[in-house]
């Protein structure tokens, strides 16, 4: 097995390059807009693909078989509207993602071996143990993808904004023309809260939020955490003394990444990372018992006496 990783945002501009010459596509995305794009591409090129999704303890999967089954847009004509459970609001049970992925691989292996699976929608509940199957509906002659062949997500004049997982956020990319974020901030400021740092602009009208990038996006490469009171021992907590300088070693976990010319590395420091990690009320009380929350201020020292630094080992490319 040869794995060729690509760190990229799947768009109508690059999907042809990234999926060139593939025989089957497995969906591991987290939003309907990208799935509609995959569906358009696979329908137009008669490539089978396997949809999969999970939230909470619930999972779903189905094969999309060209000329034999309904396509993804036949089953889901439009993205779900209204409040929906997401990985942030409902969480995702780790076993359900493994279950859905295993089922997707099983369907893909059948396709690659020349035995197309039955066009069935399979749902799983890893908590209750329920597994159900229903036959996919017939193809819709008025479906924009496989019926009318308009494939608007693939050939649309503008890319459809992507609804991100959680936070009512919409992410917009328009790489065909650079945006003047300062001018855009000036125009949007009378309408809502605007925050811009030259690299991205965040525009908020509760409960909606837009992140607008001039020509790219930020990717989280690695992360780590140290609970300060447990800096020396997990069994013997020691609270911090205000005003005293402490040294912390934060393991970002083993990772590797190719940084090409022009890439930048950003470091974010925060006193909380909820819901990824349990919230820290900063009161010193036992976790799970505090009913109050206090703000915490951190100072990062960077001097000869306190040489804060990041270790970035460089690995030579294999010959």
- Summarised one tens digit per residue, pLDDT across range 40-90 is 999 999 999 999 999 999 999 999 998 889 999 999 998 876 666 767 667
Highest mean pLDDT among 49-53, 218-222, 231-235, 259-263 belongs to: 49-53
E strands, 155-307, are 162-163, 169-172, 193-196, 201-205, 208-212
- Mean pLDDT, the chain, rounded, equals 82
What is the CATH topology of the domain spanning 220-319?
Jelly Rolls (2.60.120)
CATH architecture of structural domain 15-155: 3-Layer(aba) Sandwich (3.40)
pLDDT band of residue 158 (cuts 50, 70, 90) is: very low
- pLDDT value at residue 163: 53
Cα–Cα distance between 48 and 46 in angstroms, integer?
Answer: 7
- Summarised one tens digit per residue, pLDDT across range 5-36 is 876 678 888 899 999 999 999 999 988 888 99
* Cross-sheet strand order for the sheet of 131-135: 25-26, 49-55, 58-64, 120-125, 131-135
- pLDDT value at residue 275: 60
Residues with a known catalytic role: 87
In the chain, domain spans: 15-155, 167-212, 220-319
- pLDDT value at residue 216: 45
To 10 degrees, the CA torsion angle through 114, 115, 121, 124?
-100
Radius of gyration of the chain (CA): 24
Q: What are the residues whose beta carbons fall under 8 Å from the beta carbon of 211, sequence distance 6 or more?
A: 169, 170, 171, 172, 200, 201, 202
How many Cα atoms are found within 13 Å in the side-chain-facing hemisphere of 182?
1
């Amino acid at each position: 097995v040869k794995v060729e990783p690509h760190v990229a945002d799947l768009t109508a501009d690059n999907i042809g390059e990234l999926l060139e010459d593939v025989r089957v596509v497995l969906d591991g995305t987290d939003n309907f807009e990208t799935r509609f794009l995959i569906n358009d591409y696979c329908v137009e090129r008669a490539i089978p693909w396997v949809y999969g999704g999970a939230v909470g303890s619930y999972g779903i999967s189905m094969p999309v078989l060209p000329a034999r089954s309904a396509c993804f847009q036949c089953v889901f004509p439009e993205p779900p509207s209204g409040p929906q459970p997401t990985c942030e609001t409902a969480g995702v049970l780790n076993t359900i993602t493994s279950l859905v992925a295993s089922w997707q691989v099983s369907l893909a292996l059948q396709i690659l071996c020349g035995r197309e699976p039955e066009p069935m929608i399979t749902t799983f509940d890893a908590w209750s143990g329920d597994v159900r199957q229903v036959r996919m509906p017939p193809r819709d002659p008025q479906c924009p993808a496989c019926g009318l062949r308009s494939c608007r997500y693939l050939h649309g004049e503008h890319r459809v904004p992507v609804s991100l997982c959680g936070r009512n956020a919409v992410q917009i990319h328009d790489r065909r023309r650079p945006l003047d974020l300062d001018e855009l901030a000036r125009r949007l400021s009378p309408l809502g809260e605007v925050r811009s740092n030259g690299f991205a602009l965040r525009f908020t009208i509760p409960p909606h939020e837009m992140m607008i990038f001039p020509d790219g996006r930020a990717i989280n490469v690695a992360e780590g955490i140290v609970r300060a009171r447990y800096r020396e021992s997990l069994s013997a907590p020691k609270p911090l003394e205000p005003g005293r300088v402490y040294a912390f070693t934060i393991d970002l976990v083993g990772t590797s990444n190719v940084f090409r010319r022009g890439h930048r590395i950003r470091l974010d420091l925060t006193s909380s990372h909820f819901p990824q990690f349990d919230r820290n009320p900063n009161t010193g009380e036992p976790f799970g018992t505090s009913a109050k929350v206090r703000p915490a201020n951190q100072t990062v020292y960077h001097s000869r006496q306190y040489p804060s630094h990041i270790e970035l080992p460089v690995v030579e490319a294999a010959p």
